[in-house]
Structure formats: C-alpha cells, structure tokens
Amino acid sequence: MGHCNFELIPKVAFKIFPPLKYLMYTPSYHSLHHTQFRTNYSLFMPFYDYIYGTLDKSTDTLFETSLERKDESPTVVHLTHLTTPESIYHMRLGFASLASKPYAAPKWYLRLLWPVTISSMIITWIYGKTFVVERNVFKNIKLQTWAIPKYKIQYFMEWQKEAINGLIEEAILEVDGKGAKVLTLGLLNQGEELNSCGELFIRKYPKLKVKLVDGSSLAVAVVLNSIPKHTTQVALRGNFDKVAHNLALALCHKGIQVVMSRPVDYSKLKMELEATDAEHMLSLSRSYSQTVWLIGDGLSKEEQLKASKGTLLIPYSQFPPKKVHKGCSYHTTPAMLAPKHLENVDSCENWLPRRVMSAWRIAGILHGIEGWNVNECGNEMFNIDKIWQASLQHGFTTLTNQ
C-alpha cells in the first residue's frame, strides 16, 4: 500500500479518530522517506517517528495536497462493459492472476463465489456508475479504459437497453467535459441498435468536442490482412452488420469473390455494387465448399459443422465463436499486438493474449495520435487503407506475423 502512489485513506478518517495518524501510515507519508531519505523511517506505525523526532515536517501538507489533486485528463477513453458474470473477477480490480491471462471458461473455485457474483449482478442491475479500470500512456497521449457495470447486452431484457443507453450518454458527456479528444465505444457497438447509438448522440449533442469512434474501419482492415494470400473466394456467414457490409464491399473491389447464403443481405450489397466493375464478384449460394470463411455472431453450430475439413474461419465480430469443428482452424477476433512502448498494459483484454488489443480499441488510439478530428459511428466509415497504414506506422503488428 505504501508504494501504490495513490491515497487510499480519506481525510475524514483522521478527523473522526485523530490517534489514527500515529498508528497507520499513508502512501504520501512513506513517499517522503524515499525523497527526503532521513525522515519517516517507520513502516506501518508512524508513532516511532513522532517519538524520535524523525517525522518529516511536510507530512500533513503533502497528504492534504495529494487528496486535492485534480483528476487526470485523458486524451482517449475506451468505453466497455462486462461480458459474463464471472468476468468481474477477471478485471484488474479482481484477481491479478486471472487478469494477466486470457479470459476462459470459469474456474472451479469461481463457482464457490457465486453468492458474491449474483450479489454483484443485482447491485449493477439496480445501480451502477462508470469507473476507470485501466490507465495507459502511448507516446504523447494518455489513455483510459472506462467500464460500465453492465453485462453483455443479451443478458438483459429489452426494456433495460434504455437504461444502458442512459449510462452511455452520461459517460459521453463526462468524457467530453474532461476534454478528451476520442471516445471509443468498445463492446458497446453490438447490433444495429447500439451500433448507431453514437450517431444518435451526435445528433442530440451537436456541440460535442469529443469524437466518437466505433473502430469498424480497422476491424475490416485487420480481417482483410488476415486472409491468406492468393485467396480467390471467401464465404461470408453470420449476422450481417456494419463490419460485414464494408468487408464484403472491400473484398469485391479487391477482386475476391464473396459468397453469401442469406438472400436479404445479398440483395443489400448487390444494389450497392450495381453498375460497378465489382458487381460480378458477389454471389448467392448455399454451397459450403469455400476454404476461407469470414464469420460473425449468430453462426449456428450446424453451419460450422458443414464446413470442409481444413477450412479457415476468421471472425469479424468482437465475440469469438464457439469452436465446434475440430477439423477447422479458427483465427482470433480482429486484434493486433501492441508495441512495447505502450505502457502499463498489465491485464488481458477479455479472451485475447496479454498485450494484444482489439482493433476497435486500437482505432481510438490511432485517431488520438493522428489527430483525426472526425466521428466514426453509425453509417460513417473511416478510410480502411489509411488507418491500416497508421497502425503499422505506430508499431502495432498483425498476429499472423508472430
């Protein structure tokens, strides 16, 4: 506690019980031992420094000024939420040993904590306020990750989405008030309703200074560069969202045939490709013979099992699919390895390995570094090639190159 560089003990505790200052030391108290060297020797119990005259005269002043320090103003804020009930123990505020490893199936000992888990779910259901879970420094910008104490959207009834949108709105206004330049929506942009929430807030608050970024452009770029070279045909399966839509368009324009199985989604894309040279690169087929599949949420177990042995499945969604086909290989969700000079990355980002960050989160960092003063949410899409080149320029590397 003495080296945590953060005052944990409130000032009111010493007012209520004044003798406490003789019995319990604070981080500011111990910091003076390191900076002044010949004062505040006592560990845990300042009583002895008072007796022998080795108490630093600035102890009380430093403690009070430490409590009055203003909150750090971030440049980029990544807004996210919990994914499963057990994921609360996987955060940095939970068990450090779990937070440093990719999130996996619940361990047996976490089942013993189910009474606590259920209690936390009830508390977040009734009341919850966004809080900071991680602070990082990258080059000349300050990064923060904020968590909304709500679980994955489908854990809740339809009527609760309004409450979640309310928390998102509060977070956006708070981030804007702190002077941040970029806010990434993280895991919040799930489905068409929440994917467009950023656009709705921009319309509601046209004077917002912070730019909202959903990171779809970099997610598309990562998937495009995960497809093996010389691939001529891919299957697009799963829910048809913003990333899938722009991914299919980019592939067709690159001369790679996109095979779709859902007529409604096929018709939407066909209309956009009409009268272009890429129109013939889109096809509708029930065939499962393609060796490269781009998959999103909503892909059933039965569909996966229809894939040929040796098929490569590349997710374009934020949540990884259940690996049910042992004869196929599965790529990670869109993500990149962070450079070494990205400081204070101590925990994993959900199911990704340590120091591997999702494309959606990296996109916000790139917008902050490059100073791109634009929104990327709703129907707005950033230049795919431009953001991909920026990611490589700033030291992010693809997982396929490792």
| Residue 222 lies inside a defined structural domain of this protein | no
Ramachandran angles phi, psi of 336, nearest 5°:
-140, 155
Q: What is the pLDDT of residue 378?
A: 85
| Residue 157 lies inside a defined structural domain of this protein | yes
| Residue 2 lies inside a defined structural domain of this protein | no
Listed as ranges, residues in the chain with pLDDT below 50 are 153-157, 191, 193-194, 401-402
Alpha helices in 229-331 (DSSP H): 242-253, 263-273, 301-305
Q: Do 180 and 240 belong together in one domain?
A: no
Q: For residue 387, what are the contacts with CB-CB under 8 A and spacing of at least 6?
A: 217, 218, 221, 363, 366
| Residue 395 lies inside a defined structural domain of this protein | yes
Is 130 within 8 Å of 171 (Cβ atoms)?
Answer: yes
> Which run of H or of E encompasses 120?
helix 114-126
Cross-sheet strand order for the sheet of 233-237 = 282-284, 257-260, 233-237, 292-295, 312-315, 329-330
Q: How many CB atoms lie within 10 A of CB 98?
A: 20
Q: Which residue has the tokens 């990719």?
A: 102
| Residue 266 lies inside a defined structural domain of this protein | yes
| Residue 236 lies inside a defined structural domain of this protein | yes
Q: Do 127 and 181 belong together in one domain?
A: yes
Q: Do 89 and 212 belong together in one domain?
A: yes
Q: What's this model's pTM, rounded to 2 decimal places?
A: 0.82
Domain end among 273, 304, 330: 330
Is 194 within 8 Å of 188 (Cβ atoms)?
Answer: yes
Name the domain count of the chain. 3
Is 161 within 8 Å of 153 (Cβ atoms)?
Answer: yes
> Which residues constitute the domain of residue 256?
227-330
Q: Do 85 and 208 belong together in one domain?
A: yes
Question: CA 117 to CA 119: how far, in whole Å?
Answer: 5
For residue range 280-322, list pLDDT tens digits in order.
999 999 889 999 999 999 899 999 999 999 999 999 998 899 9
Q: Do 236 and 212 belong together in one domain?
A: no
Cross-sheet strand order for the sheet of 131-138 = 211-213, 182-184, 76-81, 141-148, 131-138, 342-343
Q: What is the pLDDT of residue 188?
A: 61
Q: How many CB atoms lie within 10 A of CB 369?
A: 19
Query: What separation in angstroms does the CA of 27 have from each of 12, 96, 216?
Result: 16, 21, 42
Q: What is the pLDDT of residue 3?
A: 81
Question: CA 165 to CA 108: how far, in whole Å?
Answer: 34
Q: Do 121 and 261 belong together in one domain?
A: no
Q: Do 313 and 356 belong together in one domain?
A: no
Give the three-class secondary structure for 196.
Answer: coil
Q: Do 109 and 210 belong together in one domain?
A: yes
Alpha helices in 229-358 (DSSP H): 242-253, 263-273, 301-305
Question: CA 333 to CA 171: how far, in whole Å?
Answer: 26
Angle, nearest 10°, between helix axes 263-273 and 242-253? 50
| Residue 84 lies inside a defined structural domain of this protein | yes
For residue range 207-256, list pLDDT tens digits in order.
999 999 999 999 999 999 999 999 999 999 999 999 999 999 999 999 99
CATH number at residue 262: 3.40.50.720
Which of 283, 336, 294 is CA-nearest to residue 316?
294
| Residue 5 lies inside a defined structural domain of this protein | no
Q: Do 325 and 347 belong together in one domain?
A: no
Which of 75, 167, 181 is CA-nearest to residue 127?
167
Domain end among 330, 364, 379: 330
Please provide the size of the chain in residues: 402
Q: Do 175 and 250 belong together in one domain?
A: no
> Which run of H or of E encompasses 361?
helix 359-370
Q: Do 213 and 357 belong together in one domain?
A: yes
Domain end among 67, 89, 115: 67
Q: Do 112 and 167 belong together in one domain?
A: yes
Ramachandran angles phi, psi of 299, nearest 5°:
-75, 120
